[in-house]
Chain A
Amino acid sequence: MSKLEVIRAPAHTHDAEELLRINAPLVAEWLVEFLRDEMIRRRGFHRAVVGLSGGVDSSVTAFLCARALGAENVWGIRMPYRTSSVESLEHAQLVIDQLGIHSRTIDITPAVDGYLQYEPDADGRRRGNVMARMRMIVLFDLSAKLNALPVGTGNKTERLFGYFTWHADDSPPINPLGDLFKTQVWQLARYLGVPEVIVSKPASADLIVGQTDEDDLGISYHLADQILYFLLRGYRVEQIEEMGYPREKILLVKGRLESTHWKRHLPTTAMLSTTSINDYYLRPVDY
């Protein structure tokens, strides 16, 4: 008996990297149009302020803003604290120099320490939150001075992990990167020409010396993004495990995702009427 050739469908895991791949030129074109439409047409702002940390997210955001609005309409704001690494400042400067955008450097140390002197026992998490919120005070105030709009830099992975300070990093009124996983931001960064030293360095919130996101989170972004991809689509833990992902990593990602839904919402309001805002009285943000 002659046997037929058997052609097998590849396993899910082999596709995962491919599924997270983006058409970077198309995404860039889309996000440039998003910035122009949401800033100029909808809100009447021609200028942007971006907090530049020296990391990849804020660098990509600055590159997109410069494309959308012109470098002369973008302000890159460096806001170091005394423990911030010198490298972060230098990397932010690389972006400023490469794009030719305006820049300001505001040392937030006196402001942060001015408060923390009353709370000397604050742990690292509290200190980090105070710094993040102070940066937003600076960014929003400078935006008022410059008649500019603060542009957010948070990516989808950190939003899903709740790996940000509530009402700080997430507070700018528009955000071009919020639906891109971290590994997709890297792809976009390389297409846009963000300096390789910024794209390839380990991601860090730079709140504690030597800290990296992946150490903090206990998982690499590559793995986290793939697991998130399947969890968000509704796959069960067992199904994802069958694809070859380690169970403890799936549970870690699921745990972070499910314990941080509140961080992705506005504050909870007690409903008392049939005209409760955002429950009954429903109008879109741009109405």
Chain B
Amino acid sequence: MKIRVVAVQFKPRKGDVEHNLDRVTDALRQVVEDNVPADVVVFPETISSGYFLEGGVREAARTREQILEALAQRYQPFARQEPLDVVLGFYELWRGKYYNSALYLTLSAEPEACRIVHTHRKFFLPTYGVFQEKRFVARGRNIEVFQTRFGVATVLICEDVWHSITGAIAALKGAEVFFVIAASPGRGFHGENVDNVMKWQQLLCNMAEEHGVWVVNASLVGFEGGKGFVGQSMVVNPFGQIVVSAPLMKEAMITATIDTEEIAIARANAPLLADLEAGLADLLIEMQEIAAEQHARDRQ
């Protein structure tokens, strides 16, 4: 199966959800009208509002139904025959709590056929240094995979993939395509690129290679209160190689046709996922022992 993926990075206007959804729509219009090869278009974490909102999350958060409705409506004037899938990050209001979430939607020329395929709520909320997520949003509790028109996928958000275990869980559950959305403020300027850009390349390449999966990453750009988001969105193949990459800091869209048949080739060359599956029962016991020990230790 070949999937045409697009990752878009643009600078959202702080807190202005309507404007930012208009810009998401502009990018979709460009994809449709200019025939940019696309089955799935991926936008970065918190593209609806910008990332650093602090208490402004209360004003910028939307329900997933509101996002679906807003995009489905905006999409109609230029809708194409074939459905178009969209992944995007937003601050979500869900059951009385706020989350840093990602939606996987299918847009269609038939308004009633537009639908939410999957919602991921960020599992690991960075709350250190410049990050304050736990103060303002609640943590998601699941690492899920879901069926798309193109096979099994997962969506992960930023720090979710800094822990290799989340990628392992998604791969064990059967995800072959990882949509990873991020907002990464640049820091560390002594190397050939910004430190965290190089770290992101390393993380995504390692994740793709270890599990033999495709990774499609969209990463935020623009300065917010002096903190500049790096962008450099990328697509990584199951061999751990970057096949296309967007520029640092600049607005852009990248596109690639990914071939899920390469997953089997990569996994035959490096059967790490199969090894992990084989050792899973033992690992689980190890994990349970660690959890039990920590629980007992912290009770002392």
- A interface footprint on B53-70 (CB within 8 Å = 1, 0 otherwise): 111100000000000000
A287-B14, A287-B56 known; A26+B193 contact, CB < 8 A: yes
CA of A73 to CA of B236, assembled, Å: 42
Within 8 A of B (CB), among A106-141: none
Task: Decide: B194 and A283 in contact? CB cutoff 8 A.
Answer: no
Interface presence of A164 (CB below 8 A)? no
Interface presence of A21 (CB below 8 A)? yes
Interface presence of A27 (CB below 8 A)? yes
Task: Decide: B55 and A282 in contact? CB cutoff 8 A.
Answer: yes
Interface presence of A97 (CB below 8 A)? no
Within 8 A of A (CB), among B237-293: 248-249
- B interface footprint on A5-17 (CB within 8 Å = 1, 0 otherwise): 0000000000000
Task: Decide: A286 and B189 in contact? CB cutoff 8 A.
Answer: no
Task: Decide: A30 and B249 in contact? CB cutoff 8 A.
Answer: yes
Question: In the assembled complex, which residues on chain A have CB atoms less than 8 Å from the CB atom of B222?
Answer: 37, 41
Task: Decide: A286 and B11 in contact? CB cutoff 8 A.
Answer: no
Within 8 A of A (CB), among B206-231: 222-226, 228
Within 8 A of A (CB), among B1-23: 11, 14-15
Interface presence of A22 (CB below 8 A)? yes
Question: In the assembled complex, which residues on chain B have CB atoms less than 8 Å from the CB atom of A30?
Answer: 186, 189, 194, 228, 249
CA of A266 to CA of B11, assembled, Å: 29
Which listed residue (B189, B224, B248) contacts A27, Cβ 8 A?
B189
Which listed residue (A26, A34, A282) contacts B223, Cβ 8 A?
A34
A42-B223, A282-B54, A283-B56 known; A37+B190 contact, CB < 8 A: no
Interface presence of B146 (CB below 8 A)? no
CA of A18 to CA of B50, assembled, Å: 35
Question: In the assembled complex, which residues on chain A have CB atoms less than 8 Å from the CB atom of B190?
Answer: 18-19, 21-23
Q: Closest residue of chain A to B135, judged by CB? A: A282
Distance in Å: Cβ of B56 to nearest Cβ of chain A: 5
Interface presence of B96 (CB below 8 A)? no
Closest 8 CB pairs of A and B: A37-B223, A282-B54, A282-B55, A285-B225, A286-B225, A27-B189, A287-B56, A33-B249
Residues of A near any B CB (own CB < 8 A): 18-19, 21-23, 26-27, 29-30, 33-34, 37-38, 41-42, 174, 281-287
Q: What are 11 A-B contacts with C-beta separation under 8 Å?
A: A22-B189, A27-B189, A29-B249, A30-B186, A30-B189, A30-B194, A34-B223, A37-B222, A283-B53, A284-B52, A287-B14
